[in-house]
Structures are given as structure tokens and as C-alpha cells.
Chains A and B, each alone.
Chain A
Amino acid sequence: MKKVLSVLLVAVLAVSLMAGCGTKGDSVTIGIGQFAEHGSLDNCREGFLAGLAEKGYVEGKNLKVDFENAQADGAIASQIANNFVANKVDLICGIATPMAQSAFGAAQDKDIPVIFTAVTDPVAAELANADRTPVGNITGTSDKLPVEMQLEMIRKVLPDAKTIGIMYSTSEVNSVSAIEEYKAVAGDYGFEIVESGISTTADIPLAADNLLGKVDCINNLTDNTVVSSLPVILEKAAAKNIPVFGSEIEQVKIGCLAAVGLDYYDLGKQTGLMAAQVLSGEKKASEINFEVIDEAAFYGNSAVASNLGITLPEDLVSSAKEMFDTISE
């Protein structure tokens, strides 16, 4: 036992020694922490690296990227953030709210700038002041949903619809605030919102059956839990011939009828450009206000439309940033 332990201990020390010996030269090291794994956040990360590359920070050349995914576990997110800080990375990028908060919490007073992205409400998350100025050595981009444009689009596609069902997880702040916003403006477009809160992925099939019995269409937020189980909802909705609207490109790709949404790749890219400014020393993170993407694009899926027997309005199709004619798995 003692031998086993001492071998283990030596191994632990050796690994931590190696981990500690990052060489720094001309190249910079950044830590990217992503809270969960799904299409939008992955796109965000790719966009982020593209933005950095545009400004001359190319991964593998003069940029070392330490990427970690917390798999939606809050304790792991904080561990990841602590590791980045301990390894003294030059900058931390936190993707999605809990990861951004963990990074900010860990890097506070440690002189490591934090750039966040895909945070719906940075002010509510206390990552920025109400006037968009930074609360510390932190800035980034928000992925606030274009709620009114989405409702306007749904009205155009379904002129007779009265109720919109929205499923969300009660444990995600972003979704809760999005629901509030939908409820506040839905009346202006003649809709009534039927919400259905869930706690875990396991609740989704039952909640979907229940919701589909009550609504004319379903609208999807960027809720991490719901999005990761979207295929389940899509299948059930298709069986009942009820259209499902998405909130961004990835969701339309896998079978939502249409979406007015952000391009997370663009969002990530915008964030990457901000990070480049910080890395080059042009500006400090504490001097940059957080940014939002004002433009939202229309995405449609014609294969889904023909399955449902719906024709997407011509003006929407012609203005689309991207139309899909297949449903990808």
C-alpha cells in the first residue's frame, strides 16, 4: 500500500511539474472554458478563434489554446477557471454565463483579463454595469435573443396561430429572462405564450407531449438543456404536424422550421476581435464595454416546411442568410 501510494504521489507531482512548465515566449496562451457542449457554443468558440486569427493570433503558431469543456457541471467549471488562473494564461475566454462567472470569480484581482461570450444578460450576471461598462478586468459579448423580430417572423409564417409553446429549464437564468421578455411582448403580435418549465432532460418527453396538445406552434430558446434534447421535441412535433421555430442556425439545420437568430460564429468572431485588442495591449478589458450583435438573420428549412405543408413567405426566403433543404441528423 505504501509503495503504491508513493508511486502515485510521485506521479502526481511529476504531472503537476510538467503542467507548470509552460514556456512563454512571443506566443500567448489563452484558456477557453465552455460551459456545455452544443452546436451554438461550439460555433461561438470557432468564431472566437477565427476572430483572433484575423488579428494575427493563429492557434498553433503564436497562440496556445487550452480548451476545456465543463459539460454543464458547475463545480467543474470553477475547477477549470482555477486551473487557468493557476497556469497564468494571458487571457480567459468564458463561453456561456456560469463559465464566465467562474472565470471572473477566479481571475478577480489576479490581473488576468476575462472575455465572455454567449452571456444573455451580462448585467443580471453582474459581469457588467447597467451602462455596459465593465465591472472589472472583464468584457465580452451578449447573445440576447431578438425576441420581437422572432415574433414578427412567426406571425408572417403562421398568420392564424394563436398560441406559442415555449419549453425552458427553470435552472437556466437566461431562459427565465427570455420567457419574461416573450410574455411581455407576445400580445403585441396577437400571440399567447404557453410556457413549460422542466428540471432535467428526463422531463422533456412528457413536457413535450403535454405542451404539443395545447399550442399552435413551438418556439425554442437557447436553453442549453432543451437544445441538447431538441431532436426529441422535433420528432414528437413532426408526428402532430406542429411547427417548431428555433432561435439560431444550428437548430434550423437539424429540423426547426425557421429562426430569426444570431449567428454564433459571428458572435464568437466579434468576441475574438475584442480579445485580440486586449492581448495586443491596445486596450484593457476593463476599458471596453460589452457588445451585442444588433443584426439578426433569418434562417429557414424548406424540407421541414414541405413536410408540414407550409410555404415560407417569399420575402423571408429571399432575405434569408441561409436556407436548408435537408434535415441533418
Chain B
Amino acid sequence: MKTRFMLAAASALGLMLAGNAAMAQGAAPSCPIKLGAIIPLTGPQGPIGKPIADTAQLAVEHVNAAGGVKGCPIEMVLRDDTGQPTLGVDAARYLVDVQKVPAIVGVVGSGIATAIVSAVTTSAKVPMVSCCAVTPTLTRLSEEGKTGGYFFRTIPTSRVFAVAHAVAATDRGYKNPVVIYVNNDFGSALLRDLEKAIGTLGGKIAGAIPYNENQPSYRTEVNQALALKGDALILIAFSQDGATLAREWISLGGTQNLVLHNTLRSQDFISAVGARFLTKAAGIDNAQVAGASVDAFNAGFKAKFNRDPVGPGLHTVYDSAVVTALAMQQAATLDGTAIRDALRQVQDPAGEVVVPGVEGIKKSLEAIKAGRKVRYVGATGPFTFDKNGDVTGPALVWKVEDGKLVTDKVIDLEQMTALFKRIGY
């Protein structure tokens, strides 16, 4: 009872603060406009976080060179989470309470994003546009209404993997595959999505066996899976364990109709298992998008850093910053809820297509100012936030030919979106 009262008091206070902020900024925003960013710059994720932060800064520079938002330049307030959820939550608190940022971008770790959404941004009504958190847990929180619609991301969730697995299996006529999956949050969430996807595409999972990581042998798990008598095996396993599982599965007489996870798309896996056992195997992975909007980003990145944008999170963080800036321009006032709603408006399917780079952003800022609708097609290609703030992405199906990995089929973005709709995610 006491906590409930405290919560009510806290949220009432939050509302008042938010209201005040909205009133203060409603008429004419004070320059510069702050944009919060939480990215690991040190710690184990520092090496990938640093270029992500640089790219976010590049996006802000592009927006400012294009004239800024509502006539103001944007200032990115960057905090280092060092890869730890506690520090991430601290950083978010600082950005929301002290810096009073109207939106937060970046946020690399899934665990950090989940912690910030649960502890800070949802109750503060500040939209967070994550560049890199893939966990389906956030989708579930959103479905349960625990994000208030304030969570978005520009990276596809692991549901894309579930769809790709289902397509790869049903394309090959597997009707009741067995699943062996890694026993953690990622694995069990993927399994739930996979069951739904396969059910829609005309199959039924014969059964699913979890495994614990890093064991020397999985004979018991494999025997349990064999007893289910499926017509194929979908293997959701990380590289080394995947090789152990696949070897034991094959040697105990399991079918060679394998559907493998993207972590097994490596030459190491093929040599550990033996190419002659993998002639019927298929696998899945994310596919890279191509197109004019992607080239526009790549060119802008190269102009600034004199190298190609290769690395995780670069395309997605650029989009997360730019789409947020456009939403700020679109929103009537610079408060979190208006920006949240505007994030969807700048992806209007009927709108003018606008692309990354100073020119593209300039065009879109002017179009929004003139009251025209825009559709931002970004560094990650055309993307649309679904009702949970998630985006989809293309995937590919690979196979092994003469001991080499070859792409068998690409599930492009339109097909993926259609499949998501059909499956009912």
C-alpha cells in the first residue's frame, strides 16, 4: 500500500515536471536542444561502443549542418554506461533529471536497455530509441504495456531469426522439426516466436530440448531430442556447443536435415562437423540491406572518418539519432510524449522519401517545417516501427556446398514484413 502511494506520488510529480517542461519549451525552444545518448565507451564493450558514439555524433553534425531542429542546433549529451546496467540507469537518470533531455538514443546492451526502460524512461515519459538492443524481452514488456510506447529500436529483434528458421524449415518441407535451444532468455524467447512462426507456415514443432552452455557432451539432450522423432533438427546454439551438439546428433543417427542458427555460419563449424554431413543443412542470418539511402550514409561516413562503416551498430545508431531529430522537428512541442508520437509520423508510408546525409536531412527538415509528410528511409534501408517500437530486417538462408558457405535465399524486407503480419507478431 505504501509503495503504491509512493509510486502514485512519484508519477504525479513526474507529470507535473513533464508538464512544466512542456510549457517552458512549448513556445520557443531554448537553444541548443539537448539529445541524450548512452553508449559504452569503456569496459568490455568499449571497442565497439566508441565508433558507435562517433557515428551518433556524425548524425548530430549532419542534422546541425542541415539547419538544426526548430532552428536550433542539437547538442548530444553523451554518457558512458561501461557496459553495466547500474551505470546505464544512473546515466539515464542524469540525462532525464539533470539535463532534462527530451529523448535518449544509443543504448547498446540488451540488459542495459531493459533496465533503463523499466527504471527510468517509461515513468519519465522520455522516448528511448535504441540502436543495438535485440532482446525480445523488450518486445514482451511492450506487449504487456510496460514501456508505455516510449521504447523504440532501429535494430531488428531476434524475431527475424525465428521467421528465417521457420521459412528455411518449411521451404524444405520439414513438417515437425525438433528444436534444441540454448537455455537462456534469448533461447527461450526465440523458441516461443519460432513455435508461432512454424505453426503459421504449416508445420508443428515436435518438441524442444533446452541445453546448458559449455558442457563437454550433450548426449543426454540429443537422445531426448531423438526420442521425439522429428523430421528435422532446428539448432539454436552458440558456436562451440553447436558443433558438439551437431556431431553427437549425427553420430547417434539423427537426421541430417538441419536448420542452423546464425552463430554456426562459420567455416570452423563446417570443419568441426564435416562437410559431408552438412549437404542437406541450411542456416539463417541477418542480411545486409543495399540501396540509395544506405549508400548515402556510407558516403557520409567515409567523408568524415575516411574508412568504410564496417562494424556493429553504426548504421542503426545513425538512424536512431536522425529519426529522433526528425521527430523533434515534427513534434508540436519538445516533450517526450509528442516526440514519441512524432517518431511514427516521420515514417509516413505516403510521405516524401528522405535519406541520410546533410542534403537529405535538410530536405526532410524543410518538408516537415512546411507541413508536408515525410518518410525517412535510413542507413538501414526502409524501416517502420511496429506497435511495439520494433523494426524488422531482411534475413538470408544459407547452405553448405562443397564445404563452402553459400547464400541460398534472401528474405527481403517486404517479405519479412508480410511474414510478420501473417504470423501476427
A binds B: no
